[in-house]
Structure 1
Amino acid sequence: MIRTLFVLYICCIFFLVASKSIAQCTPPWADNCVDANVLCSLDELNGYSCSSLKYSNPTGCSPICPQGGGPHNTAWWAFVSDGGQVTINFKFQNCSVNGEGLQIGIWGNCVCTESVACNSDCNGPGQFALTANLISCKTYYLFVDGCSEDVCDFTITTSGGGQPQLSPLGKINNDSDRKIQVCQGMCNKKFNIDNQNGNCLPIYEWTLDGNIIGGTGNELYLDFPDEGDFQLCVTAYIGNPNSGSICDQEGPECITVTALLSQDRYGPLQRICATQLPFDFHGTKIFNDGTYRATFHDASCCKYDSVVDFHIIYNDSLGCQNTNYAKGIVFLDKNKNGIFDNQEILLNDYIVSSAPGSFATFSNQNGYTILLERNAINTIKASVPNPAVASVVPNDYQINVGNVYGQIPGQYDFAIQENDLLDLEIQINSSVARPGRTSVVTLQVNNVGNIAATQSVITLQFPTGWNVIRTNPMYTNILGGNLLRWDYMNTINLKGTKSFRIEMAPPTTAKQGTPFELIAEVDATNDVNPINDIALWNNKIVASYDPNDKLVNKSNYYSISDQNKELIYTIRFQNTGTDTAFDVTIRDTLSKGIDATSIRVVNASHPYQLRMKKLGYLEVYFKNIFLPDSSVNELS
């Protein structure tokens, strides 16, 4: 009895397995949409015969078609095509459960949001056709479901829907060298690959350093929070790369993405009143003068540091407690009407002073702001470098400041009115002269008149025996072996300058302490002021020297008739440290025997900003000049 039961048990298992194996057809179905193997064309379903599932498998969409119906025993197939119109004919019969028939349809995805064609009518055995216009290379999902779990035999015939093929991939972002640079922190950086020919819509797989990222489209957006090099690749598939059902493949196509930290951004000088201390600079507390930085992100999420110089100012300074000040502009009054009109220009570096407080400032493209004494009548004046060719309108402003604080109402503008005169001046400067070593001589021609100079002749006389190495611009000729001449035919515009650089060397036999003289001259037709047409440089041959000095001795540097008693200072400075100097400030207290309102800059090696808070206390500020240390050979 025990043996008989054992045999019957085995037989039952055999028949159950055999019953399900009969329903398996080729190509086989899948119980779930996402597991369906992809057929590479509808041709693989042409002539296909099978039966609907004989077991419950309600994995279809709900409703199974947009117009209704529900899933019961759903079977799935996936396929791709070369696009266009296709027809799938179904013929079903031998419905053995309830005779209601089959529900059949095509979905464009497995999340039931894109119905392509569907029939949920349950009218018993028969035949009908699904017709659809398909996108090339796109994966579609065909289902067959029994009405109320009906089981029917069916046959499929198809027309259209041949096998698609991919065209070669282009370059990501059409970048020719496959290298893209972004900033650290960048967000939502777009990357894309050109669409396939013939509206083919494959699956795209993106990887970053070998890791799959993004969706399945031909574009994606990435963030780069870290610095470094990253390899971004894309591969196009027809089919399902996750299941291994691949009909065609192109790629991978790759690029290298380099994420770099953005350069520092430098803000303007900020002045803080002492009463505001400690000042909060985006989380950093400021107690003293200095350079501070804070980290920000721009609209593209790029990370950068904002670098700002802060200067602490006190009660006698602009904008702080217990101060009074006035504002205005200094401009070139071309039509001499005393009013700032269109096409007229604002002037830089004109000194504006106020008394009795002895305050001073320089004009710039934003105008000027000058401090005033409280409870006093203040006189504001603007000064011109050369009163012989220009005047100021008005001569001054009288402002009665009472027991008040802040900006004095009104606009205190100064018009600079010039006569129509041609006036070129020449200035000369030289580095130290050592036997057999290169010295750099700089000539600067300034148009201090108010009409353009269209042509001029510049000469430089130097000691006999000195060797001229090179000049820029190139000289026209050398006369007598010790006179360089330039026939300069270009225009020097109003307030314009032209520099001439000469590299020359004294003879190797020159003795230390030997005096020498350099004579520079400019000649222009109709120049009204010959006084400033000649400049001399007298010095001695040296063997060593102090790299930081200030020269003002008239025996060393002067014009022939001392230019209306002008003194010309030459300040030389060198970085004698061991690292680059980024910002340099030169401070000088001028002698009381000098008219501080007459100061003007003749030439400078770098862009500069003039400051003068009090008359006679001069600051020259060089920002971001990156001055190398003394170990660097700048000439080479």
Structure 2
Amino acid sequence: MSNSISGSTFVDLNADGIHDPNEPVAAGTLVSILPDIGVVVSDQMGRYAVQAAPGAYVIEPVADPMVMSVSPPSHSAQLVLPTDMDSLNDFGLVLVPGVQDLRATVVMDYAWSGFATNVWVTVKNEGSTTVNASALLELDTLCAVITSDPAPTSVSGQTLEWSIGPMSAGQVFFAHLVVETMIVPFGTPVTHHAMAMPLAGDMDPSDNEDVHNDVVVGSYDPNDKTVLPVELSPSEVIDGHRVEYLIRFQNTGTFPAVDVVVTDTLDMALDITEIEVLAASHAMDWTVQGRLVGFVFNGIMLPDSASDGPGSNGFVLFSIALDDSVLNGDCVANMASIYFDFNEPILTEPAVVCVQEPTSMELLEKEDVVVYPQPARDR
């Protein structure tokens, strides 16, 4: 037995700092434990735990003050003996009333010429108030819908709409489409555009829209990691501009994968306290241990590609900020390891983002051309 620090996170509906029976857990909450340990994340039951060396620690959740406060703001732990365990570090998250904030994401696995592939649309209520929401998807004209789960409420040409209805704080809507891409020359652009409605009253309407840009391919590596944008200016780093990492995987074996685990050791140039999972293709848990982030798809039962091509794919999408110590000219490279059951991991090619002062020509282009919405996701 060794020293440990543990606790739980919950939504404190009455702001009394006590986890009452009617109050839901707050899964996926980042908790900072300093010094030395860094951050951990609460599981689906709202619990977190970490081993720690003897010493004094300060524990506090990483929370957005625009949306929530924390009760109590922090805990302290003093571990003296080798078997000391401090397990009373519970935190109530108190939502700031009346904050409306929807976020949309759209992800495609690959635009495979003449074949069926996946498009995933996610809408999450990031605010504190219930919103009567809907989701829109403008599908590229090169793609035709084969199936959609759930079925859209209405379809007009390439525009699909889902009337979600009341979404409570933290609730997620998810639509999975199987589409077929027309047979066109490789390299032909494909663009899908998703939107979470309403825009009026939203605290941050910029993330109500999302674009996935891709190109038609004939063959591809189905297990990859990409980052967008691939370049930030030093001022954007200081301002906390985020980058998005997309990790895609496919079971190319000969039998269904019971479990899939994706691990990612984040570079020191990335601010681990700013990580946020945006979307995933299947239900999963995620963990943080030091710099190692794990995305665990237990019981995914991912079909093999020969028996179910579209169904053999999955993804996870997360965002993070660069540490403000990153300098002009620095590049940050990160790769992921993908485990299918007990097989050896598949290693992705590195995803690289560089910090670069824009040239005078790039500044002129930025002044002349406005791209909206941002980010637009390119493969």
- TM-score of the two chains, using structure 2 as the length reference: 0.71
Tell me: CA distance 1:334–1:576, structure 2 relative to 1, closer, same or farther (3 Å): same
- Distance change in 2, residues 1:591/1:388 (3 Å): farther
Residue in structure 2 matched with residue 494 of structure 1 by the alignment: 169
In the alignment, is residue 545 of structure 1 matched against residue 225 of structure 2?
no
Match of 2:84 among 399, 407, 428: 407
Question: How many angstroms apart in 2 are the aligned matches of 1:532 and 1:418?
Answer: 20
- The CA distance in 2 between the partners of 1:415 and 1:564, in whole Å, is 27
**Other-structure match for 2:249:** 573
Query: By how many angstroms is 1:567 displaced?
Result: 2.9
Query: Relative to structure 1, is the Cα distance of residues 471 and 327 closer, same or farther in structure 2, using a 3 angstrom cutoff?
Result: closer
Identity of aligned residues (%): 27
The partner residue of 1:448 within 126, 134, 144 is 126
Instruction: Identify the structure with the greater strand proportion.
Output: 2
| Distance (whole Å) between structure 2 residues aligned to residue 468 and residue 564 of structure 1 | 38
Q: Deviations over 1:71-111 (max 9, x none)?
A: xxxxxxxxxxxxxxxxxxxxxxxxxxxxxxxxxxxxxxxxx
Partner of 1:526: 201
What do residues 20-67 of structure 1 show as CA deviations (whole Å, max 9, x unaligned)?
xxxxxxxxxxxxxxxxxxxxxxxxxxxxxxxxxxxxxxxxxxxxxxxx
- In structure 2, the residue matched to 1:618 is 293
In structure 2, distance between residues paired with 1:575 and 1:625: 11
Give me the whole-angstrom Cα distance separating, in 2, the residues matched to 1:332 and 1:467: 42
Amino acid at match of 2:293: L
TM (normalized to structure 1)? 0.44
CA distance in 2, matches of 1:379, 1:518: 45
The answer (yes or no) to whether the contact 1:354–1:372 under 8 Å persists in 2 is no
* SS of residue in 2 equivalent to 1:520: strand
Q: Shift of residue 634 of structure 1? A: 4.6
Amino acid in structure 2 at the alignment position of 1:325: S
Inter-CA distance 414–532: structure 2 relative to 1 (3 Å threshold): same
Cα separation, partners in 2 of 1:519 and 1:387, compared to 1, 3 Å: farther
Q: Secondary structure at the match of 2:104?
A: strand
Tell me the alpha carbon deviations over residues 127-151 of structure 1, each in whole angstroms, 9 at most, x when there is no partner: xxxxxxxxxxxxxxxxxxxxxxxxx
- Call closer, same or farther: CA 1:366–1:439 in 2, change over 3 Å: closer
- Residues 1:370 and 2:43 aligned together: no
Match of 2:188 among 514, 526, 529: 514
- How far off its partner does 1:589 sit? 0.2
- Deviation digits for residues 594-624 of structure 1 (CA, Å, limit 9, x no counterpart): 222333333333332323232x111222223
1:564 CA displacement: 6.2
User: What corresponds to 1:274 in structure 2?
Assistant: none
Q: Is the 8 A contact 1:360 1:370 kept in 2?
A: no
2:24 is matched with 345
CA separation of 1:475/1:555 partners in 2, compared to 1, >3 Å: closer, same or farther?
A: farther
Q: Comparing both chains, which one has the higher relative contact order based on Cα–Cα distances under 8 Å and sequence gaps of 6 or more? A: 2
Q: How does 1:186-585 map to 2 (within 5 A)?
A: 320=1, 323-364=2-43, 365=45, 367-374=47-54, 376-384=55-63, 386-402=64-80, 404-409=81-86, 411-420=88-97, 421-454=99-132, 456-479=133-156, 481-482=157-158, 484-486=159-161, 488=163, 490-508=165-183, 510-524=184-198, 525-554=200-229, 565-585=241-261
Query: Secondary structure at 1:532's aligned position in 2?
Result: helix
Q: Give, as a single letter, the amino acid of the residue that structure 2 aligns with 1:437.
A: F
Does structure 2 retain, via aligned residues, the 8 Å contact 1:361–1:370? yes
- Deviation at residue 506 of structure 1 after TM alignment: 3.2
Q: How far apart in 1 are the matches of 2:260 and 2:214?
A: 27
Post-superposition offset of 1:446: 0.6
Distance 1:489 1:366 in 2: 26
The CA RMSD measured in Å over matched residues stands at 2.8
> d(CA) in 2 for partners of 1:488 and 1:631?
35
Cα distance 1:460–1:383, how it changes in 2: closer, same or farther (>3 A)? same
Q: How does 1:36-47 map to 2 (within 5 A)?
A: none
Q: CA deviation at 1:445?
A: 0.7
Aligned mates of 1:630, 1:332 — CA distance in 2: 41
2:280 to 600, 604, 609: 604
CA shift for structure 1 position 377: 2.6
CA distance in 2, matches of 1:635, 1:353: 39
Tell me the equivalent position of 1:198: none
Change (3 A) 1:359 1:527: closer
Q: How far apart are residue 534 of structure 1 and its match?
A: 0.7
Q: Distance in 1 between matches of 2:155 and 2:163?
A: 15
Amino acid corresponding to residue 441 of structure 1 in structure 2 = V
Q: 2 CA distance for matches of 1:410 and 1:465?
A: 55
Matched-pair contact (CA < 8 Å) for 1:372–1:378: no
SS state of the match for residue 243, structure 2?
A: coil
Distance of 1:436 and 1:382 partners within structure 2: 48
Cα offset, 1:498, TM superposition:
1.1
Change in CA separation of 1:545 and 1:383 when aligned onto 2, cut-off 3 Å: same
Give ranges in structure 1 of 5+ residues lacking alignment.
Answer: 1-319
1:349·1:600 contact (CA, 8 Å) conserved in 2?
no
Shift of 1:348: 1.4
Which residue identity is paired with 2:194?
A
In 1, distance between residues paired with 2:7 and 2:226?
35
- Separation in 1, partners of 2:216, 2:46: 46
Specify the alignment match of 1:185 in structure 2.
Answer: none
Cα distance in structure 2, aligned partners of 1:437 and 1:493: 37
Alpha-carbon contact 2:120-2:281 (below 8 Å) kept: no
3-state SS in 1 of match to 2:93: strand
Query: CA–CA distance in 1 between the matches of 2:178 and 2:86?
Result: 54
